[in-house]
Amino acid sequence: MRLALAIACAAAAFPVAADPDCTCTNRDGGEFHVGQVTCLDVDGKRYLARCEMVLNVTSWKKVGSECPTAAAGSLLHKVTDERQEEEPGAAITDLVAGALQ
């Protein structure tokens, strides 16, 4: 009896690892494994979130107030628009030249 009790207590002391197939789902049905990060669009606001396990349930945790790709994309459009007014096609040439450096 004591041995069974000791084994039960030892088993309870070590948490069971999450199933590797656990995923979070975004609004569009995309699946993300625990630990993966993506941008979520909730109530018209975009933010960076990571898929995590909370009490054996997957959940999104906000890890950033902005999405890096959204910020870079809007900056790219602004730079492209400004350069396009000066010289058509120049913005693309500048971007390619910058990538090659």
- Residue by residue, DSSP assigns 47-64 as EEEEEEEETTEEEEEEEE
Which structure tokens are listed for 87? Answer: 């010289």
Whether residue 31 is contained in a domain is answered as yes
For residue 7, give the amino acid letter.
I
Per the structure, how many domains does the chain have?
Answer: 1
Integer angstrom CA distances of residue 96 from 24, 27, 78, 83:
36, 35, 17, 14
pTM passes above 0.75: no
pLDDT of residue 79: 47
Range of the domain at 56: 23-64
pLDDT of residue 61: 96
